[in-house]
Amino acid sequence: MNVLMPVADGSEEMEIVIVVDILRRVPWDVMIAGLGARAIRASRGVRLVPDVAWADVTPEAFDMLVIPGGWDGVTALAKDERLLATVRTFMANGKWVAAICAGPLVLQAAGVLKGRRVTCHPGVAGELTQTPRLNDRVVVDGRLITSQAPGTAFEFALELIRAVEGDRKADELAKSMVVR
């Protein structure tokens, strides 16, 4: 599984690092793509170095798109027309699309949430206008998976694995990390 995670200044570091770490344990190939060609300053000031600049990515080469939250990061990602086109293409082609925290607002900016079952951070629920927000910690709607916040990042990552690889692999990883 080839996974693409776009990030920007202000993206939520826990949602980046926890999710990427767990997915790489599968092992899946996960590429972090920064909107700029430099390190980002995440939402709590942690500096993270993306694997590649977003401009140098070929999104078609990936099977899954994972969008982290963090208000400023989501605001920047939601303004990137190439990313919005990528979201629409992934959804239209039945590829995996996942978003956590405020990340579903990027999906909304791409216009793909109407009639879908999603969740997001309670603090941005009022911004979600294309579909009602569910209160579940993680919501799976076909190949669209959403989650609420940094505190649900482990569950979110494990659900991505469960959806693609099945219960056994997800449970094995959860046990090895003493998540359950």
Q: Which residues contact 31 (CB under 8 A, 6 or more apart)?
A: 2, 3, 4, 5, 51, 52, 57, 62
Give the model confidence (pLDDT) of 133-164 as tens digits.
999 999 999 999 999 999 999 999 999 999 99
Torsions phi, psi for 155 (to 5 deg): -60, -40
Domain ranges of the chain: 2-173
d(CA 179, CA 59): 32
Q: Catalytic one among 8, 20, 101, 173?
A: 101
- Which pLDDT score, from 0 to 100, does residue 106 have? 99
Reported pTM: 0.97
Tokens matching residue 73: 């990061």
- Which pLDDT score, from 0 to 100, does residue 65 have? 99
Residue 120 bears catalytic tag: no
Question: Does 2-173 carry CATH code 3.40.50.880?
Answer: yes
Element holding 147 (H helix, E strand):
strand 144-147
Identify the segments of the chain with pLDDT beneath 70: none
For 36, half-sphere exposure in the C-beta direction (CA atoms, 13 angstrom radius) is: 13
- Which pLDDT score, from 0 to 100, does residue 88 have? 99
